[in-house]
Structure 1
Amino acid sequence: MPSGGADGVGGAFANGSDAEQPLEASGLNARYEIDRELFLQGDVRIRQGGFQVTGSEARYSQERGAVSVQGPLVSRGEGFLLTGEDANYDVETGRLDINTATFLLHGPEMRGNAGSLSRISEEQVVIQGGLLTTCGPRQNDWAIVASDIRLDRAEGFGTAKHVRLEVLDVPVFYWPWASFPIDDRRKSGFLYPQFGSSSAGSGAFIAVPYYFNLAPHYDATLTPQYIHGRGLFNEVEGRYLSSLGETTLQLGYIGNDSAFEEENPGESGERWALDATTRAAFGGGWRGYGDFSVVSDEDYLSDLNRSLEINQATHLQRKGGVTFRSDQQYFDAYLNDYQTISDRIADVDKPYAQLPEIIYAGQTDAGVVEASVESQYTVFYRDNEALTGLDRANGQRFRARPELALPMRALWGFSRPSVSLDYTRYDLDDYTLGDGAFDRTVPVAEWDNGLYFDRQSSLFDVPYNQTLEPRLYYAWADADPDQNDIPDFDTDLQTFRFEQLFRPDRFTGGDRVGDANQLTVALTSRFNDLLTGAERARFSIGQVQYFEDREVTLFGEGAGTRSRSPLAGEVVLNPLDTLEIRSSGLWDPDTGNTEEGRSQLLFHSSDYRYLASVGHTYSRDELEQSDIAAVFPVSDRVSLIGRWVYDSDLDRTVGSLAGLEYNNCCWSVQVVHQNYLTDDRELDSRILFQIQLKGLGGSDGASSSISEAIYGFDERERRRFGTP
């Protein structure tokens, strides 16, 4: 029988299928028919467990276990907010159907609207005639519009039928079906299309990647793409994660590259590339590693490569081995080879393979004496059939350098005298200057000394600590001047820098040991902020005094007769956390000439919206280049991107990058035009795109090139998109 209404009436009705989750309902006015129906009016509130809905009117049918609610209504639950005109709620199943709905998902920060929306369960939502975006309210810069959208929060993904991507309400792409993530979990399905253009080789392209979530510990991504003028090109990446480490395999293949065939008559249009990396941790300080790269032809990387983690190069490395590291020991054994992909490199200039190379270093303390040894065994191989003389030789090299030192340290300074023996043994094949088995022994003595003075003061009310660190370093090596009967497997002359002042040998590698009788005098001063601990400034200068001529050469390079080196200096200034100024160079006091110089100013705002760098590189009679780079916001959403590199010797631009970035809370686009100098000293150009839709990923193309060109841009991308 009917009952009268009453203000402020509320009731609780147990759900027959789950007595522990009662249905609670309240309103300003209520009318209840016993065992049949409850009618509520005015500020209606209905709750069951974590689900709740509010509206203007509600009818609860106890017989059907259903509630109909008139809006405007609002429904809240864990991680979501729904609004609509009217709704039906099933008490038994928890299903909620809303007409003319809007919704907000807090976890993935997605919102949208729908002709109808069904909350089937706490984790599943079905949207009919819906729109989905991660943009802010009243800002549909981009949106996914579909006839049917299903969101599964339990699985972390959504699916949609008859999907179109709209940018500023304009349709730009259509998919008959799509699957997309709504959180960080992985799921098989199509990723978002990639597109771009380049006037250097690869042309306009469109790619549709498909991700295979095969198992928790391995997956794969297949990226078929069509390149204008070339045809169908496929790239695939596979990743495998084990208890030891991770392995990545990347492949690229095109069966019939029509543009390549036109440019290279007689060559096959079948082109391919492979890149594999693996890292493993075995425990106890042991690790394994492997890197292998190979391409079908010299132009593959410039024409086709977008996803393989190998860059334009003349040599591709294949290296694999195991290492061990502890506090006092180091061991590394590996095989190392190269693919020389440039036809312009002569056989004599190709690098040797190490098959294998074994390195061991150890150190121990014997009372006040420190004993150590560095050793290396290498088998060098190169196809030298077409070469003559020393260039034809292959073979084995063993090198060991035992050392005894007497380190003395105190708060005010240090002193470290040491003696060592640099021993090298060769066993060579195809050696034309006599017996290929011979050795070389060079005694070496070093004495490194430093003092430390400091004082505290303040500047602009900021306390700081200033240090004064004089350093004396003496080196002596009694090396045979005539070592040019030894092949050059891996040796080069070191570029003279400030850090080179404190090394006894002017050669890298193991085929030359330099003679030395020299004293380095250097001075460093640091200014440390006592409030933050940051080093705000560092000034260093030093010079080598030679007591004897240097006679050991690398086929004519490396000798010297002057009595002192150029002055080598470094200056590093960090007056602000966002500003760094670096300068280093060599100045010859005998001639008054600057031999080398490198200077760079780096600036970024605290949020990395502003980036700027100015640099200059100079090497007398060889190179002089200047470069300027910047990312400059001209509004809250638009930024200019640019870099310019000018070569004074060539009197021309040798590289440039100019572009535009639009960025707001839910999407960004970068378009850049890049010029770069090719091997034949011609400027080539390409146009690169990148689009990022917040929460949905985007197209590749521009970001990595900008990061290589502009200091701090990669950090800027991490801060904006949360990438690792």
Structure 2
Amino acid sequence: MLKRYLVTLCLLPTVTTVAATAPQTDADSADQCIITPPVPPLSKQSKTGNKDLSQLIKIKSNQSNGTLGDKATFSGNVTFTQNGRQVTADQAVVDQQKQKFEADGQLVFQDGVVTVTANSLNAQMGSRVATLDNAQYWLNGQQLHGSAEQMEITKDNKLVLKDSNFSTCPIGDESWLLKARRIKIDPEEEWGEIWDAKLEIGNVPVFYMPYMTVPISGKRKTGFLFPRISSSTTNGFEFAAPFYWNIAPEYDLTFTPDYMSSRGLFTKTEFRYLAGDRQFGQMNLEYLGNDSMLENHADRWMVNYRHQGAIDENWRVLANFIDVSDNNYFNDLNSDVNRSTDNQLSRVGDISYFTEFWNFSARVQDIKVLGEDISPYQVMPQLSFNYRSPGFWNKFDFNLYSELTNFEHRGNSYNTATRLHVEPSVSLPFQGPAGSLTSEVKLYQTYYVQRDVQRADVLLDDNVSRSIPEVRVNGQINFERFSNFFDTQYRQTLEPQFQYLYVGHRDQSNIGIYDTAELQQDYIGLFRDRRFSGLDRIADANQLTLGLTTRVFDEHNVEQFRFSLGQIAYFENSQVSLYSDQLTEDTSTSVLAAETDINLYDDWFISGAIQYDTKYHDNKKSEVTLDYRPGPNKLVQLSYRYVPDLVNRNTNDQVDISQAGIRTAWPLTDNVYFVGNYYYDLNEDRSVETYTGFQYESCCWAVRLAYHYHIKTNYEDNYNPVLDNRELFETSFMLNFVIKGLGGSGPLGVSDMLDDGIFSYRKPLYLRN
């Protein structure tokens, strides 16, 4: 009869590894990404506080024999366990005199993160070194697996693999395999060192490196990242090879030499840092010397600095500075900071202090507009103070906004100014399930000191004091009922809303325009108390806004339908315009603004908005989108937007937009995704953008091929002239290739592809479900 034996010895060193991080998929997916070892892995166990007990090994077997202090032999289902590690074998021998342990026959070594099968195991108890021959290893719960002629576990718990290989591809279908003469894995540092590495793709050697390092977790490591390849009519053939430098736990730097055959060597440097637990920053430097595409072969550069965070519980800081060598920098070069459609460069510095009822901030701001001769005013500086006192007296709320702003300008023909503004308000809000009613009284008190007014195009006063009262009453009633549509019960709401607004009139033509622009009159904008942003113009008003919203909710309280309609009725025409030479219109009503969101059926959604001029019977602005979203990464969107030239009837700015587009993302197979968009200008009768991208992604590698054709926004550059035949459209091809498990995760999913191009993907307007 077989008997079970239990022997307790002090034998092997502790062995731990850290698994490489990699994306995981559903266990039932056709392309299984988790590599399963031949036996179930052991669960991780906490370390014991007793060092002696942590070195004890328990040996179980069907049979054993031996002499105390000499040799002991174990056979038949031999199992060794030690503090979360386990070795199983057919037979094993312990030589206590030579401090040696040997095991062979269907040998399996396991701990919480690694599983190893081998022909034999030899351990030196004195030197705490163990060697496994002909080893196969798996990192539990991860994609990484491989083999080695010999695996050594050193006394300091490092793993040394000789004549080995590894991959993250499914077993038997290794699309790529990395072979090496020697691999050293340091579980504590979470890195692997590789000597004489040879990368094979489809059994074809494509890459050799005498020495390289790779992460076995998400830990950062100095080294080259995967290159990017593209070709365009503007830059020619382009090859970028980023190099990552892990300077310290709080600092890192990425340097990217980007060679463009039509322009030259374009270098990009990105430095990131952490300042404590709650502050972080980034600096970008980009430089292209002697641009071959420019007539004067000028140097081109970009500098950007960002910092933000919290100093403590009350103080917040924000800083952002960016500058470029010329107006067309972002149009021509693939910057890591801005898109080609960004033409405003904001430079901001802000420090703020927050408490429960008040806050203070100091701010400086400068905006550079690319391609524009007129520059905005600089805020140098602005000090603001806000105070809130809810329920300060008999349910009345008190609010105070104040600011002191100094405006400067680089131009010699512009005046400068300092503005002091104080804006106290008292409101009485009533809110409940049936509706709400808020009454508010406000005073705009502003004082200007304007300097060098003779430089201005219009007649300005040196000192202006302006006091404007405001009275506003805003109310809403909520009705609801249960209704049946298509044999399904829904909850429908009816939400009428009104607002009466009175703002006193003051002549403001003697005040310059420093930070003010006209606001949109969409449905939400109808209920604003201001017609202009900024404080240089406060329009007088005596008007009533009426609006109506109805919603339909299903049994899960998900909004399936929403429609809003509203318009302003003017009792008196406003006498305040943005500029003194701008005519004011004599009209009794504003635009009729409407918006809707509808879940048409299952995965079909339609959304639209319109601003209709009831006086001139013109469509001032409209947009509509039709979405089909049946699942993740499945999308078809049709869109149309229309802005006629009559939108700015009283100015010289002519806007005439009529564009239709389609955008789609769809999985062609389990591994292949397609993303594309096409936008057409109906007025110009031409395409303005075409994007087509295919992405293949498996457990172990990913590749993306994309084609992009789009219109360019070319600006005039007096100090950096370009060729007269500057291209209006650009055509480019892009190729990204990533091998997972060698330090990169690659292009995962399709969300970033949807954001490529001029028109990034937007969900239907104001969608709330």
Q: Percent identity?
A: 26
Contact kept, 8 Å, 2:341 with 2:713, in 1: the verdict is: no
**Aligned counterpart for 1:238 among listed residues 259, 263, 271:** 271
Identify the residue that residue 296 of structure 2 maps to in structure 1. Answer: 266
CA–CA separation in structure 2 for the residues paired with 1:667 and 1:522 = 55
Q: Does 1:452 align with 2:478?
A: yes
Separation of aligned partners in 2, 1:337 and 1:19: 66
Instruction: Find the residue that maps to 1:492 and give its secondary structure.
Output: coil
Aligned-pair CA distance for 1:469:
1.0
Q: Which one of 470, 495, 507 corresponds to residue 496 of structure 2?
A: 470
Partner of 2:365: 336
Q: 1:320, CA displacement in angstroms? A: 0.6
Instruction: Indicate the RMSD between aligned Cα atoms, in angstroms.
Output: 3.1
Q: Which residue of 2 aligns with 1:362?
A: 387
Deviation at 1:101, TM superposition (A): 1.8
The alpha-carbon deviation at position 522 of structure 1 amounts to 0.7
In 2, are the aligned partners of 1:23 and 1:91 still within 8 Å (CA)? Answer: no
Residues 350 and 191 of structure 1, relative CA distance in 2, 3 Å threshold:
same
Are 2:400 and 1:373 aligned?
Answer: yes
Does 2:554 align with 1:525? no
In the other structure, the counterpart of 1:248 is 281
TM norm structure 1? 0.87
- CA offset at residue 121 of structure 1? 5.5
Is 1:540 paired with 2:559? no
Distance 1:282 1:35, change over 3 A: closer
Which one has a larger percent strand, Structure 1 or Structure 2? 1
Contact 1:428 1:436 in 2 (8 A): yes
Q: CA shift at 1:302, angstroms? A: 4.0
2:720 is aligned to: none
Q: 1:609–1:457: structure 2 CA closer, same or farther, 3 Å change rule?
A: same
CA contact (8 A) 1:627 1:646 kept: yes
2:689–2:710 contact (8 Å) kept in structure 1: yes
| 2:468 partner SS | strand
- Look up the match of 1:717: none
1:645 matched to 2:679? The reply is yes
1:291 matched residue in structure 2: 320
CA distance in 2, matches of 1:167, 1:157: 23
Q: Which residue in 2 is equivalent to 1:627?
A: 661
Q: Superposed, which structure 2 residues align to 1:520-599 within 5 Å?
A: 520-531=545-556, 533-555=557-579, 556-557=581-582, 559-574=584-599, 580-590=605-615, 592-599=617-624
C-alpha spacing 1:667/1:580, structure 2 compared with 1 (3 Å): farther
| Match of residue 744, structure 2, among 674, 689, 697 | 697
The answer on whether the counterparts of 2:539 and 2:576 sit within 8 Å (CA) in structure 1 is yes
Query: What is the rounded CA distance, in whole Å, between the counterparts of 1:505 and 1:682 in structure 2?
Result: 40
Paired position in structure 1 for 2:47: none
Q: Residues of 1 paired with 2:476 and 2:751: CA distance?
A: 46
Go from structure 1 to structure 2 and tell me whether the alpha carbon gap of 1:282 and 1:208 turns closer, same or farther (over 3 Å shift). closer
Contact preservation (8 Å) 1:613, 1:711: no
Q: 2: distance between equivalents of 1:43 and 1:641?
A: 55
**Structure 1 residues 82-101: aligned runs within 5 Å:** 82-101=116-135
What are structure 1's unaligned runs of at least 5 residues?
A: 1-5, 715-724
Q: Is the 8 A contact 1:404 1:418 kept in 2?
A: yes
> What is the rounded CA distance, in whole Å, between the counterparts of 2:348 and 2:331 in structure 1?
23
- Whichever residue aligns with residue 263 of structure 1, its letter is M
Aligned to 1:322: 351
* Match 1:498 to one of 517, 523, 538: 523
1:247 and 1:276 in contact (8 A); partners too: no
Ranked by relative contact order (alpha carbons within 8 Å, sequence separation 6 or more), the top structure is: 2
Partner SS for 2:453: coil
Instruction: Say whether 1:408 aligns with 2:407.
Output: no
Partner of 1:190: 223
Give, as a single letter, the amino acid of the residue that structure 2 aligns with 1:426. Y
Residues 614 and 627, structure 1, Cα contact 8 Å, conserved in 2: yes
Q: Is the 8 A contact 1:707 1:713 kept in 2?
A: no
Find the aligned partners of 2:524 and 2:705 in 1 and give their Cα distance: 41
Are 2:461 and 2:511, in contact at CA under 8 Å, matched by a contact in 1? no
Number of the residue aligned with 2:198:
164
Provide the residue aligned with 1:74 in structure 2: 108
Per the TM alignment, residue 243 of structure 1 is displaced from its structure 2 partner at its CA by 3.4
* Secondary structure of the corresponding residue to residue 508 of structure 1: coil
Q: Secondary structure at the match of 1:488?
A: coil
The residue number in structure 2 matching 1:718 is none
Task: Answer yes or no: is 1:688 the counterpart of 2:713.
Answer: no
Shift of 1:305: 4.2
Equivalent residues of 2:460, 2:510 under 8 A apart: no
**CA separation of 1:39 and 1:405: change in aligned 2, threshold 3 A:** closer
Q: 1:694 to 1:713 in 2, by over 3 A?
A: farther
Mean alpha-carbon deviation: is it higher for 433-442 or for 701-710?
A: 701-710
Tell me by how many angstroms 1:654 deviates.
Answer: 0.6
Shift in Å at residue 448 of structure 1?
1.1
Tell me: CA distance 1:339–1:161, structure 2 relative to 1, closer, same or farther (3 Å): farther
Give the residue type in structure 1 aligned to 2:584.
A
| Structure 1 position 614, deviation (Å) | 2.1
Q: 2:362, 2:384 within 8 Å by CA — same for their partners in 1?
A: yes
Structure 2 Cα separation of the partners of residues 16 and 43 of structure 1: 19
From the superposition, tell whether residues 226 and 163 of structure 1 become closer, same or farther in structure 2 (CA, over 3 Å).
Answer: farther
Whole-angstrom distance in 2 between the partners of 1:298 and 1:434: 32
1:649 positional shift: 1.1
Counterpart-to-counterpart distance in 2, 1:508 and 1:73: 75
Show the counterpart of 2:766: none
Residue 540 (structure 2) pairs with residue 507 (structure 1): no
- Give the Cα–Cα distance (whole angstroms) in 2 for the partners of residues 227 and 71 of structure 1: 59
Q: Cα deviation per residue 1:440-482 (whole Å; 9 max; x = unaligned)? A: 33222222121111223565786543221111111122324x5
Write the deviation string for residues 146-166 of structure 1: whole angstroms up to 9, x where unpaired.
221111222111111222333
CA apart distance, 1:367 = 2.0
Amino acid at match of 1:291: N
In the alignment, structure 1 residue 14 sits paired with structure 2 residue 62: no
CA shift at 1:605, angstroms?
A: 4.3
**What does residue 46 of structure 1 align with?**
80
Tell me if the contact between 1:474 and 1:520 (Cα under 8 Å) persists in the aligned partners: yes
1:577 positional shift:
9.0
CA distance in 2, matches of 1:44, 1:175: 42
Give the alignment partner of residue 257 of structure 1, picking from 286, 289, 310. Answer: 289
Contact 1:108 1:182 survives alignment (8 Å): no
C-alpha separation in 1, matches of 2:573 and 2:379: 34
Verify: 1:180 aligned to 2:214, yes or no: yes
State the alpha-carbon separation in 1 of the partners of residues 171 and 485 from structure 2: 49
Task: Return 648-657 or 457-466, whichever deviates more.
Answer: 457-466
In structure 2, what is the equivalent of residue 722 of structure 1? none
Which residue in 2 is equivalent to 1:719? none
- Structure 2 CA distance for aligned equivalents of residues 633 and 141 of structure 1: 21
Q: Which moved more, 1:314-323 or 1:689-698?
A: 689-698
Q: Distance in 2 between matches of 1:573 and 1:692?
A: 41
What SS does structure 1 have at the residue aligned with 2:246?
strand
Residues 84-134 of structure 1: per-residue CA shift (max 9 Å, x gap): 233323344553322222101126542111222223358421112222222
Does the aligned pair in 1 maintain the 2:702–2:746 contact within 8 Å?
Answer: no
3-state SS of 2:311 partner: strand
Tell me the distance in 2 between the aligned counterparts of 1:594 and 1:499. Answer: 18
Indicate whether 1:206 and 2:229 are aligned.
no
Residues 249, 274 of structure 1: 8 Å contact kept: no
Structure 2: how far apart are the matches of 1:421 and 1:24? Answer: 83
Please tell me the residue identity of whatever aligns with 2:502: W
Instruction: Summarize deviations over 1:397-421 as a string: whole Å, max 9, x none.
Output: 2233222333233332222222322
- In structure 1, the partner of 2:415 is 393
